[in-house]
Amino acid sequence: MYSPGLHILAQFTAPASTLTDAGSCKRHFDQLVDTLGLANVGEVYHSFPNGGFTVTICLTESHIAMHTWPEYGLATFDVFLSNYRRDNQARVRQIYTETLSFFQGIEQTKTELLR
């Protein structure tokens, strides 16, 4: 059975200032995707009236998804990259680590799922 790759699912607390800044978040993900040589084939950023936002980035390698609840100081984060063309496991972990740092986040839960 083919095993596509590694998926990290996390939840972290962070300052409301970062959890409401979709523009900075987009620049962060754009830079990561570019630096790591991933292929973004479409994305959605949607902001809510309370300042929270929700993001899905569709990659040829799979996806990144993030949702913020600034009223609870909380975000969920997903990154899943397939190893179809090359081994991307280290990139999955790097994307999570750099995103946690970018949001000044404190990890509450992290699950690594090898799919």
Binding residues vs a copy of itself (CB under 8 A): 1-2, 4, 7, 9, 11, 41-44, 46, 48, 54-60, 62-63, 65, 67, 69, 72, 74, 76, 78, 80, 82, 84, 108-109, 111, 113, 115
Contact 100, 19 (CB under 8 A): no
Round to whole Å and give the CA distance between 57 and 100.
17
Shortest distance, position 9 Cβ to a copy of itself, whole Å = 6
* Residue among 43 and 98 whose Cβ is closer to a copy of itself: 43
For residue 55, the 8-state DSSP code is E
What whole-number distance in Å separates Cα of residue 85 and Cα of residue 72?
39
- What number of other Cβ atoms are within 10 A of residue 75's Cβ? 25
- Least spacing, CB of residue 110 vs a copy of itself, in Å: 11
Residue among 54 and 94 whose Cβ is closer to a copy of itself: 54
Of residues 82 and 88, the one with the C-beta less far from a copy of itself = 82
Is residue 55 within 8 Å of 66, Cβ to Cβ? yes
On whether the CB atoms of residues 79 and 89 are closer than 8 A, the answer is no
Closest approach, Cβ 77 to a copy of itself, in A, equals: 10
CB of 5 to a copy of itself, least distance (A): 9
